[in-house]
Amino acid sequence: MPLSLPLPTPRDGDPCRPLLRLNAASVAEAERTLLGCCRCDRWAHRLAAHRPYPDPDSLLAAADEASYDMTHTDIAQALSAEPADHPVTEGPGALAAHTALRAAHAAYEARFGHTFVVCLDDCRPEERVDVALVGLRTRLGHDQDTERAVAAEELRRLARCRLARLLGVAPHAGPAARPCGPAPPGR
């Protein structure tokens, strides 16, 4: 049974409005919304089941905790649903950069059996291809266990950023903040 917490009251332009909608949604509707942030059924169910959240920070903290508790099966489910997006860049060298990026993605998928995930939300658009390439080259040297841990951390960061966008808040307040670039191994 969900805890009864004092909930914020909506005001025009209130950043809590999306949270109020999520709190008021049916379990199925909340899970569908949350699956847009992380395609792990257990993760979405856990967050939906623990509503209501008193504020966006509480939901973001719960999302982090649920991400840290994901099993290998949960991580595999979430990774299998991640799009194989490539950051886009323009200008001199763009074609060569994209060719290198596609080749590195293919090598990564062949080695680890899933798409490469990295959260680039903190990077300026002109940095994204370089950051992704450095991340791919670094992570191709990981063993399976190390890479699973790094991919899980990137999934957590992606879910947090997507959830923050859904709520209309900044994703990187507090201890979960990290500057642009791939996650360090072992987290």
pLDDT in tens, 57-88: 999 999 999 999 999 999 999 999 998 876 77
pLDDT in tens, 104-135: 999 999 999 999 999 999 888 888 999 999 99
Confidence of residue 172 (pLDDT cuts 50, 70, 90): low
Compute the average pLDDT of residues 160-176: 78
**pLDDT of res. 6:** 41
**pLDDT of res. 29:** 97
**pLDDT of res. 122:** 87
pLDDT in tens, 4-50: 334 344 444 555 689 999 999 999 999 999 999 999 999 999 999 99
Q: Are 165 and 135 in contact (CB under 8 A)?
A: no
- Taken in order of first residue, the domains within the chain and their CATH numbers are 17-78+152-176 (1.10.3330.10), 85-151 (no CATH)
